[in-house]
Amino acid sequence: MTELEKIAQACVVIPCKKSTRIPFAVTQEQLARFSFSEAPIPITEITNRINALVDTNIMKPFCYKHVTTWLMGIGALLEEPGTNGRSQKLPTEEGEKLGITVEIRNGIYGNYRVVVYNRDAQQFIIDNIDAIVSFANN
């Protein structure tokens, strides 16, 4: 028996478990600890701050895509083709009234657009989180 065969024979195969994490849920007490930003922030930062309020080891994390899809459903965002062939969700006039805007930033590959959410838009998401979670679970 070769050395490689001995190693292979000694290995124990451990089957992968399916995720047993429960669906995302957050209480009003947890939401009361949400850290609002006075400066506009991207949706990923908002969902990161929401996920910091719950135990994502036992619970599925809150996903930014659920928020942006819900916002599209209520007419606050729309999807537009991007310059690089990828689409981007941008605020509508209604979204701008909520506090969703676009900033131009400069990266290593040049300028790019970032959708950001001001304090009012962050509050709107927190106020409607039950509707967003319900939408995501259906």
- Tell which wins on pLDDT, 108 or 18: 108
pTM (predicted TM-score): 0.82
- Ramachandran area for residue 99 (φ above 0: left; ψ -120 to 50: alpha; else beta): left
In a domain, residue 21? The reply is no
Q: Do the domain assignments include residue 31?
A: no
Structural domain for 74, as ranges: 40-137
Q: Is residue 2 included in any domain, yes or no?
A: no
| Number of domains making up the chain | 1
What's the pLDDT tens digit per position in 46-92?
A: 999 999 999 989 999 999 999 999 999 999 999 998 767 788 999 99
**Whether the predicted pLDDT of 96 surpasses 50:** yes
Does residue 4 sit within a domain?
no
The answer to whether residue 104 is domain-embedded is: yes
